[in-house]
């Protein structure tokens, strides 16, 4: 192919509408959603070929009694529980994953059942890969690098059946092909992304989020909000994700505050937030996530909280990039019931202001300095954001100076 020299091609020259040169969308997880589904977990596991399931969770969830109810639902369906691994911390690691996989093997399991938030689900996904293919968690790292047939060029080899019961409504890991845990040896976040990591089944039952504390419901809900907005405005947008993002935003608009204000009493809101989170998840995101990852890695800021703080600043930054980007934010405004007219800067201001008000109303912090991020930490945060691959998908290319301004604005 010959033609004019266009360096923009290598960086995803911005094309925010029309038919793209390329996109890929996959959604391989069967979803069942509704009331009183936990009691039929075993029935659903059986359909996925499970006979002896390894249940992965954490101690906090186990203490609520939820795991006992799920276990009863598993055995009611004629599936055995090979064992329960409840040692997943809030920020899981390769060491935990390796231990989880080894114990599952010793217990003679043939399937995984994850009951928990993002850390639990991601631990189970990577442990399943180690369990199936051998090796260690660290060796699983990479994008589209899981074992394949035909000299690694053919179909990806499946992992043992994995069923997820999310106990937060935000991460979306229960329907995604990504997983993330920390590698304390190399001091990096280990990322894996490949098709076999799509769980076979996600069970969305609002009973699983009934005891979710309001602050966590708020933070994880804002994580879902950020997924929906960032994926809609990402350079790597696609029409399938557009549809998912828009419906997720409508559900979040109607249900997030209700789920936080009266979580235990509002089953409908909690159920709709579970659906919203599963719709919103995407791997095509942008600078908000690129900024939030180092906030978590360096200062332990919960991911949803970091996203809630950083999102309005990135929106203002991006909305000035041009009409094509501003138009995408107009769509977001309309889905959220926010004034969508005026210049790009005006749209960005309106949407960012609305989100900041929402975050305040949910009882979440709105500044990084409120969650332990010091001013002297900004250079390291900037370096982390610049080094995050999601920066490449942001509709406005951020420079180091841009990120410094954004972090200072969010401080």
Partner 1 sequence: MAYFKDADEVYRFIGKLFEDLADDEELAPKFRKADTVVQYSYRDPDSTITVQLLEGEDGRVDFGETDLEPEVVMSMDADTAHRFWLGKVNVTVALARGQMKAKGPVAKILKLVPLVKPVFPKYRAMLEEAGREDLIEAA
Minimum gap (Å) between residue 282 Cβ and partner 1: 12
Handedness of CA 205, 211, 212, 214 (dihedral sign): positive
Half-sphere exposure of 145 (CA within 13 A, CB side): 9
- Report the largest interatomic distance among the alpha carbons of the chain, rounded to a whole angstrom: 65
Minimum gap (Å) between residue 251 Cβ and partner 1: 27
Could you say which residues in the range 21-50 bind partner 1, by CB under 8 A? 22, 24
Pick the closer one to partner 1 by CB: 61 or 393.
393
Cα 157 to Cα 274: distance, rounded to the nearest angstrom:
29
- Over the window 315 to 354, marking each residue x when it contacts partner 1 by CB under 8 A and - when it does not, the resulting string is ----------------------------------------
Pick the stretch among 52-60, 67-75, 79-87, 181-189 that binds partner 1 (CB under 8 A): 181-189
Q: Is 9 in the site for partner 1 (CB under 8 A)?
A: yes
Minimum gap (Å) between residue 297 Cβ and partner 1: 11
Cα 163 to Cα 35: distance, rounded to the nearest angstrom:
17
Q: Is 145 in the site for partner 1 (CB under 8 A)?
A: yes
Cα 230 to Cα 224: distance, rounded to the nearest angstrom:
10
**Sequence-distant (≥ 6) Cβ neighbours of residue 149 within 8 angstroms:** 155, 157
* Helical H segments across 262-364, by residue range: 267-280, 287-299, 303-319, 323-336, 344-361
Q: Is 397 in the site for partner 1 (CB under 8 A)?
A: yes
Q: Is 10 in the site for partner 1 (CB under 8 A)?
A: yes
Pick the closer one to partner 1 by CB: 7 or 17.
7
Minimum gap (Å) between residue 196 Cβ and partner 1: 14
Helix (H, G, I), strand (E, B) or coil at 203: strand
Tokens representing 379? 């250079």
Tokens representing 293? 């990852």
Give the phi and the psi of residue 141 in degrees, each rounded to 5.
-55, 140
Half-sphere exposure of 69 (CA within 13 A, CB side): 14
Cα 258 to Cα 208: distance, rounded to the nearest angstrom:
17
Could you say which residues in the range 288-307 bind partner 1, by CB under 8 A? none
**Sequence-distant (≥ 6) Cβ neighbours of residue 146 within 8 angstroms:** 129, 133, 140, 156, 157, 159, 192, 194, 195, 196, 197
Selected from 143, 268, 324, 361, the binder of partner 1 by CB under 8 A is 143
Selected from 44, 48, 128, 141, the binder of partner 1 by CB under 8 A is 141
Pick the closer one to partner 1 by CB: 24 or 376.
24
Q: Is 389 in the site for partner 1 (CB under 8 A)?
A: yes
The number of residues that bind partner 1 (CB under 8 A) is 33
Cα 164 to Cα 55: distance, rounded to the nearest angstrom:
10
Tokens representing 154? 């053919």
Tokens representing 405? 């301004």
Q: Is 134 in the site for partner 1 (CB under 8 A)?
A: no
Pick the stretch among 56-64, 303-311, 334-342, 391-399 that binds partner 1 (CB under 8 A): 391-399
Selected from 186, 264, 268, 342, the binder of partner 1 by CB under 8 A is 186
Q: Is 243 in the site for partner 1 (CB under 8 A)?
A: no
Q: Is 5 in the site for partner 1 (CB under 8 A)?
A: yes
The continuous run of DSSP H or E covering 259 comes out as helix 239-261
Pick the closer one to partner 1 by CB: 26 or 243.
26
Residues that bind partner 1 (CB under 8 A): 1-2, 5-12, 22, 24, 141-145, 186, 188-191, 235-236, 383, 386-389, 391-393, 397
């Amino acid at each position: 192919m010959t033609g004019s020299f266009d360096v923009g091609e290598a960086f995803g020259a911005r094309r925010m509408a029309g038919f793209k040169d390329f996109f890929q969308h996959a959604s391989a997880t069967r979803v069942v959603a509704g009331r009183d589904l936990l009691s039929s977990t075993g029935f659903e596991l059986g359909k996925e070929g499970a006979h002896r399931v390894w249940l992965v969770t954490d101690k906090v969830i186990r203490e609520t009694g939820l795991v006992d109810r799920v276990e009863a639902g598993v055995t009611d369906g004629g599936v055995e529980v090979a064992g329960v691994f409840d040692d997943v911390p809030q920020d899981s690691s390769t060491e935990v994953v390796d231990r989880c996989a080894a114990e599952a093997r010793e217990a003679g399991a043939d399937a995984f059942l994850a009951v928990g938030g993002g850390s639990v689900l991601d631990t189970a996904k990577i442990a399943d890969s180690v369990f199936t293919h051998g090796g260690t968690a660290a060796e699983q790292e990479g994008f589209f690098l899981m074992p394949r047939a035909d000299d690694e060029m053919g179909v990806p080899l499946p992992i043992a059946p994995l069923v997820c019961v999310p106990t937060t409504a935000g991460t979306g890991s229960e329907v995604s092909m990504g997983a993330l845990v920390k590698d304390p040896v190399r001091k990096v976040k280990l990322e894996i992304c490949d098709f076999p990591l799509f769980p076979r089944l996600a069970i969305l039952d609002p009973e699983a989020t009934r005891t979710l504390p309001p602050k966590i419901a708020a933070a994880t809900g804002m994580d879902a909000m950020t997924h929906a907005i960032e994926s809609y405005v990402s350079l790597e947008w696609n029409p399938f994700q557009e549809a998912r993002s828009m419906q997720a935003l409508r559900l979040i608009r109607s249900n997030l505050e209700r789920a936080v204000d009266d979580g235990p009493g509002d089953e409908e809101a909690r159920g709709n937030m579970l659906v919203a989170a599963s719709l919103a998840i995407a791997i095509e995101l942008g600078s908000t996530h690129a900024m939030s990852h180092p906030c978590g890695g360096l200062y332990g800021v919960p991911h949803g909280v970091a996203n809630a703080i950083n999102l309005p600043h990135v929106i203002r930054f991006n909305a000035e990039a041009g009409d094509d980007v501003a138009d995408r934010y107009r769509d977001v405004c309309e889905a959220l019931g926010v004034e969508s007219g005026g210049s790009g800067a005006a749209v960005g201001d309106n949407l960012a202001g609305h989100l900041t008000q929402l975050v305040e109303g949910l009882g979440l912090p709105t500044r990084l300095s409120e969650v332990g991020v010091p001013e002297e930490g900004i250079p390291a945060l900037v370096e982390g954001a610049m080094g995050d691959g999601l920066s490449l998908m942001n509709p406005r290319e951020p420079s180091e100076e841009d990120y410094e301004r954004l972090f200072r604005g969010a401080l």
